[in-house]
Amino acid sequence: MEYLEYIEKLHTMAKDLDYARFLKDCRKLTNEEARELKRLYQMIVKEIHPDVYSHLEEKDKLYWSRAVEAYEKGDLEMLRTLRELIDDQEPKEAEKGSALEELADKQEQLLSTVKHLLEAVDRIKKAFPFTEEEFLADKEKVAAKRANLKAAVKESREILEDYQFRLTLFTKPESSIIC
């Protein structure tokens, strides 16, 4: 019995370690983004929390589980997407406001989404491979890099052949080892 408990504890620790590694690699949220994350989550909670709405559709239950996961991981983009998906559904009768208010809210959400998408595009443009555009335009630099890589590959193959030869010496019966 102790062994099973130990194994279970190891599995739990492995999951915790994987989660910690995931969080380490995640982009850190700014204070503004953290506030938006919390605000979006609270809005989603008010609309589809299973304790409040006991007769949710399957897709709402899926949205809820994804929203909880996104909030725990700090995945702001996922919460934004879920908010859009939830807003696209037909509003409940008690929640219907004026058409003008709904359009104003939708406009605000769309402007916010566009702003965040433009920021994401800017981040992408500042990352590899877009940072290599100048290098790739210079044919001489590309040719020199290609030559360096070919030389490195040739050297690596020679080393590999040498190690393979040494391994054959070790695996032959009654062979003398020459290093």
- Nearest CA to 29 out of 73, 83, 80 is that of 73
Residue 154 has what pLDDT?
96
Identify whether the C-beta of residue 109 lies closer than 8 Å to the C-beta of residue 84. yes
pLDDT of residue 178: 57
Q: Please, are residues 71 and 36 in contact by the beta-carbon 8 Å criterion? A: no
pLDDT tens digits for 3-34? Answer: 888 889 899 999 988 888 877 777 788 888 88
Q: How confident is the model at residue 50 (pLDDT cuts 50, 70, 90)?
A: confident
Residue 90 clears pLDDT 60, i.e. is over it: no
With residue 59 as reference, give the H or E element that holds it.
helix 58-73
pLDDT range class, residue 94, cuts 50, 70, 90 = very low
Per-residue pLDDT, 142: 92
**DSSP label at 172?**
S
CA 16, CA 27: separation in Å to the nearest integer?
19
What average pLDDT does range 102-113 have in this prediction? 83
pTM over 0.75: no
Residues 126-169 pLDDT 10s: 888 888 888 889 999 999 999 999 999 999 999 999 999 998 88
Task: Give dist(CA 165, CA 109) in Å, integer.
Answer: 65
97: pLDDT strictly greater than 70: no
Res. 93: pLDDT tops 70: no
Helix, strand, coil tally for the chain in percent (to 5)? 80, 0, 20
